[in-house]
Amino acid sequence: MATPSDPARRAVIRQGLSVAVATGLYGISFGALGVASGLTIWQTCVTSLLLFSGGSQFALIGVLGGGGGVGAAIAASSLLGVRNTLYGLQLTPTMAPRGLWRVPVAQFTIDESTAVSIAQDTLPNRRLGFWVTGIGIYVGWNVMTLVGALVGDAIGDPKQYGLDAAASGAFIALLWPRLKSRQPVAVAIAAAVVAAALVPVVPVGIPVIAAAAVAVVFGLLTRKRTTDAQQPDGTIL
Amino acid sequence: MTVWIAIVGASVIAFALKFAGYTVPPSFLEKPRVSHITTLLPAALLAALVVMQTFTTGSQLVLDARGAGLVAAIVALLLRAPFIVVVVAAAGTAAALRAFAGWA
């Protein structure tokens, strides 16, 4: 059945898979670094399976590898995980998980699955984007963690292939279509400035939360403007 | 053993944090003011993720090949390139600058 939504769905799948490939390959870094930090191969792989949140995982092994205590390692990891709560809030109307179904939905809730999901226009595509990206990264990240733990740095740093920049490109491409009316543009600029300004002075993980706070404050000070594009002279504040 | 405690402890808290976001009643999220905020959140979150992914290493602001990759991505977006082309343009630019120009 050739419905207009088919190309759109294929586009969502392509987006999800390309983000999953770029991010999943980074599992090599985690696997190699985990073993280098003194974890066993088994411990490194279990961390990716259970914790499954890149920033939190690197923080955990960073503190453990640096000789820090269990409490400090858990605290650093958890601080980075707070933003996932916010993502769950944002995704609740989309995913509307009930009962035990909330378990896989929660586990797959990370930066990338949220980013791909919220960038879509329709509810089915938002759900599709979440699952394709979340499951794709879960599989890729865990397989590549094992590969990295086994072969160490033999494959080389993913940076040399520009995979870190690939993620930058993916995020800006997801943001781009939203920058068509004034309010999101203003919010995006303010959020970017606030996040950047806070990076040197607050713990890692907090700038994204502060960026969300920018949207909250902006939302409290403004009204919904569904006709924003047709009202160029309207006031924002 | 302490490593296992750290792994399991961090994993339990990480999952609880993820799960907590899904325990808020939908009726709260449907209030006009809340829904206005949640429609603004994606732009804020995505913009912050762009900044974090491109211009930070740990707690430091840095300008390296990722920044050039982002510029390449924006050029591709201005040319209305499809998603995958944007991603490849960013990666290729950063990889080339690192390989041939010695960028960080």
Q: What is the pLDDT of residue A237?
A: 34
CB contact under 8 A, A211 and B32: no
Could you tell me if B6 and B35 lie in one domain?
A: yes
Query: Which residues in chain A have their CB less than 8 angstroms from residue B60's CB?
Result: 199-200
Q: What is the pLDDT of residue A225?
A: 67
Number of H helices, E strands in chain B: 5, 2
Is residue A62 within 8 Å of residue A156, measured between CB atoms? Answer: no
CB contact under 8 A, A82 and B94: no
The A residues from 144 to 183 touching B (CB cutoff 8 Å) are 159-176, 178-179, 183
Could you tell me if B38 and B2 lie in one domain?
A: yes
Instruction: Report CA-CA distances (Å) from A149 to A29, A41, A116, A172, B1.
Output: 9, 6, 28, 31, 19
Torsion of CA B8, A110, A135, A97, to 10 degrees: 90
Residue B92 lies in a domain: yes
The B residues from 2 to 61 touching A (CB cutoff 8 Å) are 2-11, 13-15, 17-22, 24, 26, 29-30, 32-33, 35-56, 58-61
Could you tell me if B38 and B75 lie in one domain?
A: no
Query: Which residues in chain B have their CB less than 8 angstroms from residue A210's CB?
Result: 48
Distance CA B40, CA B32 (A): 13
Task: Return the ∠ at Cα A83 (arms to A77 and A84), rounded to 5°.
Answer: 85
Residue B95 lies in a domain: yes
Put simply, whether A53 touches B (Cβ < 8 Å) is yes
Could you tell me if B34 and B69 lie in one domain?
A: no
Distance CA A170, CA B3 (A): 34
Could you tell me if B41 and B67 lie in one domain?
A: no
Distance CA A173, CA B87 (A): 8
CB contact under 8 A, B41 and A82: no
CB contact under 8 A, A215 and B40: yes
Residue B18 lies in a domain: yes
Q: What is the pLDDT of residue A156?
A: 74
Q: What is the pLDDT of residue A226?
A: 54
Residue B51 lies in a domain: no
Could you tell me if B6 and B38 lie in one domain?
A: yes
Could you tell me if B71 and B102 lie in one domain?
A: yes
CB contact under 8 A, B45 and A115: yes
**Position of tokens 């995958």?**
B84
Put simply, whether A91 touches B (Cβ < 8 Å) is yes
Could you tell me if B3 and B38 lie in one domain?
A: yes
Residue B55 lies in a domain: no
Query: Which residues in chain B have their CB less than 8 angstroms from residue A145's CB?
Result: none
Q: List the one residue out of A61, A85, A83, A81 whose CA is nearest residue A73.
A: A61
- pTM for this one? 0.83
Which ipTM did the prediction report?
A: 0.92
Distance CA A20, CA A25 (A): 8
Distance CA A152, CA A21 (A): 19
Domain residue spans in chain A? 5-178, 181-237
Instruction: Report CA-CA distances (Å) from A217 to B27, B39, B51.
Output: 21, 13, 20
C-beta atoms surrounding B56 within 10 Å: 18
Q: List the one residue out of A88, A120, A119 whose CA is nearest residue A104.
A: A88
Number of folded domains in chain B?
A: 2
Phi first, then psi, for residue B90 (nearest 5°) are: -65, -50
In tens digits, what is the pLDDT along chain A, a chain of 237 residues?
A: 445 568 999 999 999 999 999 999 889 989 988 998 899 999 999 999 999 998 899 989 988 988 888 998 999 899 889 999 999 999 999 999 999 999 999 999 999 999 999 999 999 999 999 999 999 999 999 999 999 999 976 777 888 889 899 989 999 998 998 898 999 999 999 999 999 999 999 888 889 889 999 999 999 999 876 544 433 333 333
**Position of tokens 């797959």?**
A108
Residue B13 lies in a domain: yes
Residue B87 lies in a domain: yes
Residue B35 lies in a domain: yes
Q: List the one residue out of A174, A168, A187, A176 whose CA is nearest residue A225.
A: A187
Helix pair A54-65, B2-20: axis angle to 10 deg:
150
Is residue A227 within 8 Å of residue B55, measured between CB atoms? Answer: no
Q: Which domain holds residue B81?
A: 63-104
Number of H helices, E strands in chain A: 11, 0
CB contact under 8 A, A14 and B59: no
Residues in chain A: 237
Put simply, whether A216 touches B (Cβ < 8 Å) is yes
CB contact under 8 A, A192 and B51: yes
pLDDT per position as a tens digit, B38-67? 889 989 999 999 999 999 998 899 999 999
Both structure tokens of B54: 């491109």
Torsion of CA B41, A174, A111, A123, to 10 degrees: 70
